Amino acid sequence: MIAPIKSRIPVAGRGSIYHLKITLAEVKPPIWRRLRVPGEANLGWLHAVIQVAMGWTNSHLHQFTSGGTVYSDPGFDLDEFEDDPKIFDERQATLQKIAPKLKSVLVYEYDFGDSWDHFITVEKILPADPAVAPGAECLDGARASPPEDCGGVCGYADLLEILRDPGHEEHESMLGWLGRPFDAEVFNRDSTNKHLRMLRWPKTTESQLRRVLMRRDGFKA
């Protein structure tokens, strides 16, 4: 009898190219992005990519979690007290090291107050391709990210309900709080890629990320 052939699960190698799906947890309808990034990308650089692609403004702390291990910017001092769990430097952790296999999942949390959790799923691991420029590319996506500081998942749901009802007693005040038009259904892939291309590879600084985000949001940088 011939033994069945086991399917091979792609594993990252040198120069691998990752396709990631990033989904904002607990939000309906789903808010998501599909990104192509180098497997050699470190999590600090991936943080910048997520900020640009998802529509955030890098105004709050963040961290990544993989298999119970937490990674973040050491400048945040998230483990400054003796009883705090150890936090590893996100700049020293690459995708191909901590998520070497297809279907690996990371969690990216942004804003520890509103607690926006993002599930990052490895959908594809492709071999190195010299025709593919280093950096990030958004392949697809849907819907705008929630406005900053809107109160997390529940606060965002309430905000959408208020915006849909011109007769709601808080409708005008919420429009004033937003300070700009907001359409939850809008996502512009071309604009996202334009600004992703502005991020320096293989690392970017906080000031450079700030300039990119300001340009994305229509402010002079």
Tens digits of residue pLDDT in 54-75: 999 999 999 999 999 999 999 9
Same domain, 156 and 71: no
Same domain, 139 and 198: yes
Q: Tell me, what's the pLDDT at 220?
A: 78
What's the average pLDDT block by block, 10 residues per block, for the chain (221 residues)?
Answer: 53 83 97 98 98 98 97 94 92 97 98 98 96 94 97 98 96 95 96 98 96 94 66
Same domain, 162 and 63: no
Q: Tell me, what's the pLDDT at 14?
A: 72
Same domain, 45 and 127: yes
Same domain, 178 and 202: no
Same domain, 172 and 206: no
Q: Tell me, what's the pLDDT at 84?
A: 86
Give dist(CA 213, CA 171) in Å, integer.
Answer: 28
Give dist(CA 48, CA 94) in Å, integer.
Answer: 14
In a domain, residue 7? The reply is: no
- CA 152 to the chain's CA centroid: 16
In a domain, residue 42? The reply is: yes
Q: What are the CB-based long-range contacts (under 8 Å, 24+) for 46-49?
A: 46/95, 46/108, 47/73, 47/90, 47/108, 48/199, 48/204, 48/209, 48/212, 49/136, 49/196, 49/199
In a domain, residue 205? The reply is: yes
Domain that holds residue 49: 17-145+184-216
In a domain, residue 71? The reply is: yes
CATH number, domain of 59, equals 3.10.290.30
Same domain, 91 and 31: yes
Same domain, 191 and 118: yes
CA-based nearest residue to 94, from 85, 84, 104: 104
Q: Which residues pair with 64 in a beta bridge?
A: 71, 108
In a domain, residue 158? The reply is: yes
Same domain, 177 and 193: no
- pTM for this structure? 0.93
Quote the number of domains for the chain: 2
Same domain, 211 and 157: no
Same domain, 63 and 85: yes
Same domain, 77 and 168: no
Q: Tell me, what's the pLDDT at 221?
A: 66
